[in-house]
Amino acid sequence: MRASYVIRKLIGAVSTLAFVAVFNFFLFRVVNRNPVDSMFRGRNLTREQLDELTRKFNLDGSKWDQFVAYVRQLLRGDLGLSFRGNRPVVDVIAEALWPTVLLVGTSTLLAMIGITIGYRAGWKRGSRGDTVSTSLSMLTYSMPEFFIGMVMLGIFAASLGWFPVGGLEDPGSTATGLEQLLDQFHHMVLPALVLAIAYVGEYMIVARSAMIETLREDYLQLARAKGMRDDEVRRKHAVPNARLPVVSLSAINFGFVFSGAIAVESIFSWPGLGQATYLAVRGPDLPVLQGLFLLMSATVILANLIADLLYGVLDPRVMGR
Amino acid sequence: MSVLELRDLRVTYRTEGGPVPAVRGVNLTIESGDTVGLAGESGCGKSTIAAAVLRLLPKGTQVEGTVLLNGEDVYAMKPGRLRAVRWTGAAIVFQGALHSLNPVRRVGDQIEEAIRLHRTVTGAAVGARVAELLERVGLQGAHAERYPHQMSGGQRQRVLIALALACEPTLLIADEPTTALDVMVQAQVLALLEELQRERGLSLLFITHDLSVLTSTCRRLAVMYAGRIVEEGPSVDVFARPDHPYSAALAAAFPTIGDSASRMNPQGLAGDPPDPSALPGGCPFHPRCARAVDECATNDVALRVSGPGRRAACVHVKEAADG
Amino acid sequence: MTAAIAWARRRASAAASWRRMRRDRLAMVALGVLLACVVMALIAPLVSDRADFNAINTGDNPTHASPTGQFVLGTDGLGRSMALQVMWGARVSLLVGFAATVLMIGIGTLIGLAAGFFGGWTDAVLMRITDWFMVIPFLPLAIVLAAVLERGLGTIVLVIGITSWPSTARLVRSQVLSVRERLYVDRARALGAGRLHLIGRHILPNVTPLILANTTLAVPIAILTETTLSFLGLGDPSEVSWGGLLERAGSSAVKEGYWWEYLPPGLGIVAVVLAFTIVGRALEEVLDPRLRER
């Protein structure tokens, strides 16, 4: 790997992360001058109580002092206290992390089937298979993921009763081990399918247009002239090139799936980061919302960095010798 | 038996704007071990012929006439047979080596792939064969590990030649193999091709727009204009004393190195090549022809014998006995 | 004089584009769907009054009534007519969609023009910022923005505008760069034309067709974002959009089987977004010669 490329991408990621952190501060302490006031508006608190809360949430002192304190806190991995129940934001998030990793991971893997479909559709552009899969992709692209969720919930859970209507596991369940895992899997099927359906089209369209970009390349003609079969030309010569833009766009897509989880988790009462976001919006619980925003941004920035590095590995022209 | 025989080959591309005839009745025969040059401006149909020989034209393209490769009709072959004939019956040295090699795969891999596909050699011998091929074209065995972007234009063109030789084809088609290269490298690549041709007794179809290149490389020469052959004959004769005004203009367009007269007085060709979808009536060359007469606008002359082993399609050519 | 000729030429090319698009039957159907939705949104105040939704006036209506004679699309939990709400919802969804699109195309065009035209440091800084906004996941960003600002339609428009401009900026910038390369801008500059003149007379007219296609493709994104924000409870509580109707229905309507409370607004969103996407792609194909070849 060429060090300069890696370093450049690392600096890019860190600068984006720094931008997000500063933006976050700006948003919650400058745009919204005193969050505590708006937070507890209409709750009949005395001035003293409000001042007390202001100190507790680190909102006293000059903006600069606040900023320094905020950065110090951030570097320690401390995201402050939730407005509700006096719990550290980190705990609230940590609790919700695993269900989301499970859900987003599963549905991303499922949605990535779209890449293979897209390559094939682009390869046989204008064919019946291409028309059908492109039309379906446009249809799912046009549906808000939570609307897909509502329809699927209505059909497969409420009417047919094949799947539970929500939650991580059956309420009051004492199952452990494999049984517990199966129960959780049963609960995850619908939300994971919903997210996969909502985003499989994005992957498909990205892969399709990347494939179409490579269709005219001379090396495909050479490969055919060598006597390779059509599908071998696709697999061995077209796909390795079409893969490059797909890698970069997959990272952006991952951000979409992550975002889509917010509304879908709230529909299926899936106790992950998405539902935590939903509840924090409803609260509103600004410290939790801030922490979630930082975490989600950091995850997507990391995904982009990984995609950039992978790109370097896949395209010898980037890394060279 | 002829290595390649084209009988009244006609190729028509299907486009949004309607059918575009690119090749309009070409007859061409290449005997075993012979070298034939095919010359003409871009768009005259010469590269279409290269693609037509291996059935590489885009889907929906209409091909009429017959293409016989080693006596076998290419357009009557079943898919499996066609794939077996590709690269072993005829191989192509493509133009523009930067785009013809896959940028994300090592060049050795790309050569090896052809060898394995046709089982020219098998097992551990494949690696040795790749190295041998690379060395034969003036590179080193270690170059197999390189990616195309890590090589110079000349080196890449040599890789393409090694690739074309990988399965020992009976016919080698070189499609503008020197176009993108600078003059010195051009000369080296040409010398290599000539050497390989002599050494292996290859049959060669050499396609270019540069007539002067063909005189040393090829024994016979065919000049194409607007999808047809307008003149053919021994290359030295055609180049020195062209019978068709178009061949004359093409020959004059490239000054002979060392000939100061031609360098001081380059005679370009006026106008642009015609649009294949809207060819002028009569002789398609007449709007650009310095020697055009009234008859040329209406009379499209067929090839006629113009000398010993020579034919040309021009009203000024007086029918002579073929000797 | 030359301006008149230029306008005539542009009109002629617009007419030619329209003719080419007329041949695309699917795009014409989509355009019909869009027109129908716009008409529906426009006549909403003519067939009903907003007061129809006040609890005082709906007290006598049946609640959660399924679609039968009196109410074409049934009623919700407060006895409000779903049909009328869907019509009013179309107003809000389309209005926010259009307004947010104008804002985001405006921001994107300005930044893209500035970056592409001035180049150098301006370009480097603007593109760095654009990259930042490209990478930050835009829904979470929109959520935190909407959460700290006052609730209201204006906020929603602002939030969508601020979060979705980067792709337009990139597109406009690359267009400006390629237009700038062309000879006649150099000629105009050699003749001493000012920067504003260059942008207004030479660059903007050339990038407008692509901006137009981009706009058509941006509206569905804006509508989808508005829907999601409303669904999460960040919308204007007094102006209910299709997304807001879905929020009200929530998963409880789904579990109870009140399909008329969530299917109509949801299908409305799907129809409008799909129609805009189809029209946008057709427009892009007609206006972008590079795509036409494919």
- The answer to whether position B247 is within a domain reads yes
Interface test with B, best of A125, A215, A219 (most B CBs within 10 A): A219
Interface test with C, best of A145, A146, A301 (most C CBs within 10 A): A146
Question: How many distinct structural domains can be found in chain B?
Answer: 1
Give yes or no for residue A103 having a pLDDT over 70.
Answer: yes
C76: left (phi over 0), alpha (psi -120 to 50) or beta: beta
| pLDDT score at A75 | 85
Question: How would you classify the pairing of strands B2-15 and B90-93?
Answer: unpaired
- The answer to whether position B254 is within a domain reads yes
- Helix/strand/coil percentages in chain C, nearest 5: 80, 0, 20
Nearest-angstrom CA–CA distance, A225 and A240:
19
Determine whether A211 is exposed, middle or buried from the number of CB atoms within 10 Å of its CB (0-12, 13-18, 19+).
buried
Q: What are phi and psi of B123, to 5 degrees?
A: 65, -140
In this structure, how many other beta carbons lie within 10 angstroms of the beta carbon of residue A153? 25
- The answer to whether position A36 is within a domain reads no
- Judged by CB atoms closer than 8 Å, whether chains meet at A293 and C259 is answered as no
| pLDDT score at C48 | 74
Nearest-angstrom CA–CA distance, B302 and B228:
10
- The answer to whether position B58 is within a domain reads yes
CA distance C251 to chain A (A): 6
| pLDDT score at B92 | 92
Q: Is C43 helix (H, G, I), strand (E, B) or coil?
A: helix
Nearest-angstrom CA–CA distance, C161 and C165:
6
| pLDDT score at A34 | 60
- Helix/strand/coil percentages in chain B, nearest 5: 35, 25, 40
The CA-atom distances, in angstroms, between B224 and each of B96, C190, C275 are: 21, 45, 51
In this structure, how many other beta carbons lie within 10 angstroms of the beta carbon of residue B298? 10
Q: Cβ contacts of residue A262 below 8 Å, gap of 6+?
A: A273, A274, A277, A278, C139, C140, C143, C232
Residue of higher predicted confidence among C78 and B72:
B72
Residue B263 pLDDT level (bands cut at 50, 70, 90): very low
- Residue C90's Cβ-side half-sphere holds a number of Cα atoms within 13 Å equal to 24
Nearest-angstrom CA–CA distance, B42 and B26:
17
Total number of residues shown for chain C: 294
Q: Assess contact for B216 and B225: CB atoms under 8 A.
A: no
All structural domains of chain C with their residue ranges: 24-49+77-292
Q: Assign residue B207 the CATH number of its domain.
A: 3.40.50.300
Give yes or no for residue B111 having a pLDDT over 90.
Answer: yes
N- to C-terminal Cα distance for chain C?
37
Instruction: Spell out the per-residue pLDDT of chain C, length 294, in tens.
Output: 456 666 777 777 777 777 777 777 888 888 888 898 888 888 877 777 766 666 556 666 666 667 776 666 667 766 677 777 777 888 888 888 899 999 999 999 999 988 888 878 889 999 989 988 888 888 888 888 888 887 888 888 988 988 889 988 988 888 888 777 765 556 666 666 666 676 777 777 777 877 887 888 888 888 998 888 888 888 887 778 888 888 877 777 777 777 777 888 888 889 899 998 888 888 877 776 554 443
Which residues constitute the domain of residue B26?
4-89+169-312
Instruction: Calculate the CA B97 to chain-centre distance.
Output: 15
- Judged by CB atoms closer than 8 Å, whether chains meet at B113 and A228 is answered as yes
**C24-49+77-292 has which fold?**
MetI-like fold (1.10.3720)
Nearest-angstrom CA–CA distance, A247 and A311:
7
Q: Assign residue A166 the CATH number of its domain.
A: 1.10.3720.10
CB pairs < 8 Å spanning A and B = 75
- Judged by CB atoms closer than 8 Å, whether chains meet at A227 and B114 is answered as yes
Nearest residue of chain B to residue A241 (CA atoms): B104
Average pLDDT over residues A286-293: 87
pLDDT one-digit tens code per residue, A253-268? 888 888 888 889 988 8
Residue A235 pLDDT level (bands cut at 50, 70, 90): very high
- The answer to whether position A42 is within a domain reads no
Q: Cβ contacts of residue A84 below 8 Å, gap of 6+?
A: A283, A285, A288
Average pLDDT over residues B8-36: 90
Q: Assess contact for A20 and A301: CB atoms under 8 A.
A: yes
Average pLDDT over residues A165-189: 78
CA distance A219 to chain B (A): 4
CA distance A316 to chain B (A): 6
- Judged by CB atoms closer than 8 Å, whether chains meet at A224 and B86 is answered as yes
Q: Is B84 helix (H, G, I), strand (E, B) or coil?
A: helix
Q: Chain C contacts of A296, Cβ < 8 Å?
A: 137, 140
Determine whether C12 is exposed, middle or buried from the number of CB atoms within 10 Å of its CB (0-12, 13-18, 19+).
exposed
Give yes or no for residue A73 having a pLDDT over 70.
Answer: yes
- The answer to whether position A59 is within a domain reads no
Average pLDDT over residues A25-39: 66
Residue of higher predicted confidence among A87 and A166:
A87
Question: What's at B38, amino acid-wise?
Answer: L
- The answer to whether position A69 is within a domain reads no
Q: What is the pTM of this model?
A: 0.83
- The answer to whether position A43 is within a domain reads no
The candidate with the shortest Cα–Cα distance to B49, out of B70, B35, B34, B65, is B65
Average pLDDT over residues A194-207: 91
pLDDT one-digit tens code per residue, B141-198? 899 999 998 998 888 988 999 999 888 899 999 988 887 778 888 888 888 888 888 8
- The answer to whether position B111 is within a domain reads no
Q: Assess contact for C80 and C58: CB atoms under 8 A.
A: yes
- Judged by CB atoms closer than 8 Å, whether chains meet at B102 and A224 is answered as no
Which residues constitute the domain of residue A116?
3-31+79-320
Average pLDDT over residues B91-113: 87
The candidate with the shortest Cα–Cα distance to B305, out of B295, B296, B297, B314, is B314
Give yes or no for residue A237 having a pLDDT over 90.
Answer: yes
- Judged by CB atoms closer than 8 Å, whether chains meet at A284 and C257 is answered as no
- Judged by CB atoms closer than 8 Å, whether chains meet at B83 and A320 is answered as no
ipTM of model over 0.95: no
Residue of higher predicted confidence among B120 and B22:
B22
Question: How many distinct structural domains can be found in chain A?
Answer: 1
- The answer to whether position B102 is within a domain reads no
| pLDDT score at C51 | 65
